[in-house]
Chains A and B, each alone.
Chain A
Amino acid sequence: MSRIYSDVIGVPEDGTWASRLALVVGLAYAGVGTIQVLVTLGFIAPIIGFTDLIGGFLLIIVAAVFLTGVKPLSRDEQEGYAFIAVGYILAAVLFALQIMVIITNALGWILQFENWLGWNFLNDLTPSLWLFVILVISTSALWIVGHMREKLQPGSKGVSSE
């Protein structure tokens, strides 16, 4: 693990795009988390998958991690990437957990156990699951766009490893 941070991740020195990503992702998690809390408290009409109050608060915590990284990233400070990394790890943990829940519930349903007879896949599609998918897609898209720009404009700011 004892590797040089910038070598491992290859983060750009310009944190503009990263700060925008952290801001958008943070706001998305905060928004969805708040909706989940409001739904479970009964202030908003029920939505499929928005069933756990604590789950809503967890999304808000993940949002707080991303949003805390916006300021340092906008100032091109490398420590801002730490917030994106940890936010990613937390979001990935919640995602992986939900995947495992779906797999075990599906197993119970296949084996036709009594408590799983009424199981519905849609009920397990929680925000922690699809938000992470959106997060991965958006980050990948940003990474691809960044690399394309770099190739098209060789004179522009490159990655730190260069």
Chain B
Amino acid sequence: MEEEEYSGIDPQLALADERYEVIGSILCEVYEPGDHKWVLSDMLDRVLLHKYLGLPIFLVTMWAMFHFTFEISLVFMEMITQFFVWLGTYSSQIPIPWLASLLTNGVLSGVGFILTFVPPIFFLYLAISILEDTGYLSRAAFVMDRFMMKMGLHGRSFIPLLLGFGCSVAAVMAARTVDGESNRLTTVLVSPLMSCAGRLPVYIIIAGVFFPEIAGTIVFLMYILGIVMAIVVSLIFKKTLFREEASSLLMELSQYQIPTAHGSFRHMWDRGLMFLKTAGTYLLVGSIIMWILSSFGFGGYGIPVDASFASMLGKFFEPLFSPLGFTWQIVTALIFGFIAKEAIVQTLSIIYAVGGTATLAVALTASVNPLSAIAMMVFVLLYVPCLATVGAIRKETRSWKWTAFSIIYQLILAYLVALGVIFIGGFFIV
């Protein structure tokens, strides 16, 4: 009889109903309800999980997080920039020209430049840690779940997606907690669309150069676009590739906690350290390789940057990206971005430094219009995930087919959306 009663109902929901019925019957015997038994946590949840206010409050929180990340870090970024400029005045005076160029245009313009993004990345991790420690991040998943369920999607996926704000590898690996093979696969495939910390330097430099007045808002909108695209793509996959029923989200929401400074800073440091290690190893090696590619050509060392190997590589693919208004320098940077997203800004900085341009900001303003700059941000947000994420996708899907699919669909998606930005934006931005 009970089977009939629950036929057509999600077994997890039926189980939860039964469990809470038992809890309810026990409580009726032992608990005396009163007017003042409402705890502060319930009180906050009444509003933060509100049917209509929950989502707008989540957006306010997100905006505050990215505004904090961008605006507060600007002055600290400038301090680090000034430090490397000061170092550059010494390294450029080394009497051996190639060594002076390697240290100044290669290492300092590359790794030195990427290190200027340490403050925003650390601040972003601090903000995420605080949100996690308060218990709000799980509520955010709950709020988004309602929205996603309405669209016929599986809400549980939003938890791994939220992890994607930090690192796509973590998001892909967290997808194993999602029920159902199709749901899990969808989550793995859309996780890289969430904007990871590695993409932040690109947004910061472009938003800061082209839209200085609303730079924080632009960065926030890029993260929102990542969420929107993840939902839209999930929906498309759901309607076409995977037709599994949406699963319900059952989660215990712990009570809100006041985060401790020690805990939050500790989490920030642990996560930020990964970025520093990447900068000190892969990006250092990458900057030397990039300097070699930018300084050498078939004519040997000292040729103009336009005749370098980096230029040849960029120019080979440049016609493909000409509708988006990307120069060969940007195309080369995007190719190196496949190794790590942080390498995009580093590559651009080295190419322009070897080319003799004073700063990356000046070079970008001279070579790209604001519309193409937005298209570039969108392309970086959506195009192929980094090598480590591709490895994680292969590991989680255990399939080269799905790994290749992930790379190809993201490339096509990034190109089409960036093209859409150019087309639609052309009506608004001249």
Contact = CB atoms under 8 A, between A and B. Distances in A.
A154 B306 CA distance: 86
Given A4-B37, A82-B46, A86-B44, A61 B78 contact: no
Contact of A58 (B46, B63, B76): B63
B75 interface: yes
Contacts of B38: 4-6, 78-79
B366 interface: no
A51 B216 CA distance: 13
Interface stretch (B64-72, B309-317, B417-425): B64-72
A17 interface: no
B46 A79 contact: yes
Interface string A74-118: 000011011101100110011001001100110110010101100
Contact of A2 (B50, B255, B258): B255
B429 interface: no
B39 interface: yes
A152 interface: no
A100 B63 CA distance: 15
A90 B39 contact: no
B261 interface: no
A16 interface: no
B43 interface: yes
B143 to A, nearest CB: 13
A65 B74 contact: no
Contacts of A83: 47
A1 B39 CA distance: 8
B212 to A, nearest CB: 8
Contact of B60 (A8, A62, A82, A100): A62
A1 B257 contact: yes
Contact of A54 (B68, B74, B217): B217
Nearest to A68: B53
Contacts of B217: 52-55
Contacts of B273: none
A41 to B, nearest CB: 13
Contacts of B60: 58, 61-62, 90, 93-94
A64 interface: yes
Contact of B39 (A5, A93, A108, A113): A5
A95 to B, nearest CB: 11
| Interface size bracket, B side | 35 or more
A99 B402 CA distance: 48
A140 interface: no
Contacts of B82: 113
Given A52-B217, A93-B64, A5 B36 contact: yes
A107 B75 contact: yes
A108 B67 CA distance: 17
A81 B214 contact: no
Interface in B39-68: 39-44, 46-48, 50, 53, 56-57, 59-61, 63-64, 67-68
Given A52-B217, A97-B64, A115-B78, A4 B57 contact: no
A150 interface: no
B264 to A, nearest CB: 15
A100 B39 contact: no
A85 B74 CA distance: 32
Contact of B75 (A3, A64, A105): A105
A3 B40 contact: yes
B35 interface: yes
Given A64-B53, A90-B60, A93-B64, A82 B44 contact: yes
Contacts of B220: 54
Contacts of B48: 86
A141 to B, nearest CB: 24
A103 B408 CA distance: 46
A160 interface: yes
Nearest to B37: A4
Given A1-B258, A58-B63, A65 B40 contact: no
A81 B56 contact: no
Nearest to A86: B47
A30 to B, nearest CB: 13
A3 B50 CA distance: 22
A82 B43 contact: yes
Nearest to A7: B36
A75 to B, nearest CB: 14
B256 interface: yes
Contact of A104 (B63, B75, B256): B75
A107 to B, nearest CB: 5
Contacts of B256: 1
Contacts of B68: 97, 100
CB-CB nearest 10 A-B residue pairs: A86-B47, A108-B75, A5-B38, A82-B43, A61-B56, A6-B36, A82-B46, A104-B75, A54-B217, A101-B71
Interface of A: 1-8, 51-55, 58, 61-62, 64-65, 68, 78-79, 81-83, 85-86, 89-90, 93-94, 97, 100-101, 104-105, 107-108, 111, 113, 115-116, 160
Given A58-B63, A65-B57, A93-B64, 13 more contacts: A3-B39, A4-B37, A6-B35, A53-B217, A61-B53, A68-B50, A97-B64, A97-B67, A104-B74, A105-B75, A107-B75, A113-B75, A160-B36
Interface of B: 35-44, 46-48, 50, 53, 56-57, 59-61, 63-64, 67-68, 71-72, 74-76, 78-79, 82, 213-214, 217, 220, 255-258
